[in-house]
């Protein structure tokens, strides 16, 4: 596993981070999410110290994570049955459209005009 250095900017500060090539995209996405949350906290609160902003952003992100984990445990985050029904309807529509297209092609090829 090869590590590389990447630079990210979080709340107007540059950070150099080491990560594997495989995890680079995920780390960049995480850094962007942390930056967005910290920027939001700074704009919406009276907290001005970077440490306080970081703690408040961490609490917000942790709360979001815990809600998502609870939803997953309760099978609410991924409504698989609803997804399955939607996919079946979509597949049926596709099949119907293909069948209609094939009928149109056959009827136009047999039409002597």
Residue pLDDT, tens place only, 9-28 = 999 999 999 999 999 999 99
pLDDT at 48 over 90: no
Q: Regarding predicted confidence, which is higher, 7 or 102? A: 7
The pLDDT, as a whole number, for residue 102 is 81
Q: What is the pLDDT of residues 51-96, one digit of tens each?
A: 999 999 999 999 988 888 887 777 766 666 677 788 888 888 888 8
What is the Cα–Cα distance from 60 to 38, expressed in whole angstroms?
A: 10
Mean local confidence (pLDDT), 106-112: 73
């Amino acid at each position: 596993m090869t590590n590389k250095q990447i630079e990210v900017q979080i709340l107007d500060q540059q950070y150099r981070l080491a990560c594997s090539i495989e995890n680079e995209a995920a780390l960049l996405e995480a850094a962007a999410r942390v930056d967005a949350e910290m920027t939001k906290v700074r704009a919406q609160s009276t907290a001005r110290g970077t440490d306080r902003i970081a703690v408040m952003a961490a609490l917000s992100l942790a709360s979001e994570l815990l809600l998502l984990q609870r939803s997953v445990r309760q099978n609410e985050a991924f409504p698989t049955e609803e997804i399955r029904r939607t996919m079946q309807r979509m597949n049926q529509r596709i099949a119907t459209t293909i069948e209609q297209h094939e009928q149109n092609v056959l009827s136009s090829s047999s039409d002597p005009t």
